[in-house]
Amino acid sequence: MKAPSAPKKITWIIGLVAGILGIIGHYTYVQILTDYNYTLLLVGFIALAIGTTFREL
């Protein structure tokens, strides 16, 4: 089994931004962020997980 690789910078930034927006939407009231806070957290986590699993992403 191969060791996980570091995700590309753009994948890491997308995951980080989605996660931060999800956290902001959870703790503050911003209409669009509050409606989709768990989805944003999930997208951020999946982006980082896929980025470490596949070398090209």
- Helix 37-53, helix 9-27: angle, nearest 10: 160
pLDDT in tens, 8-32: 899 999 999 999 999 999 999 999 9
Q: In the predicted model, what is the mean pLDDT of the chain?
A: 91
Distance CA 23, CA 33 (A): 9
- The band of 43, judged by pLDDT with boundaries at 50, 70 and 90, is very high
Residue 33 tokens, joined? 């962020």
**What would the mean pLDDT of 49-56 be, rounded to a whole number?**
86
pLDDT band at 41 (very low <50, low <70, confident <90, very high): very high
Amino acid 10: pLDDT: 92
pTM score: 0.84
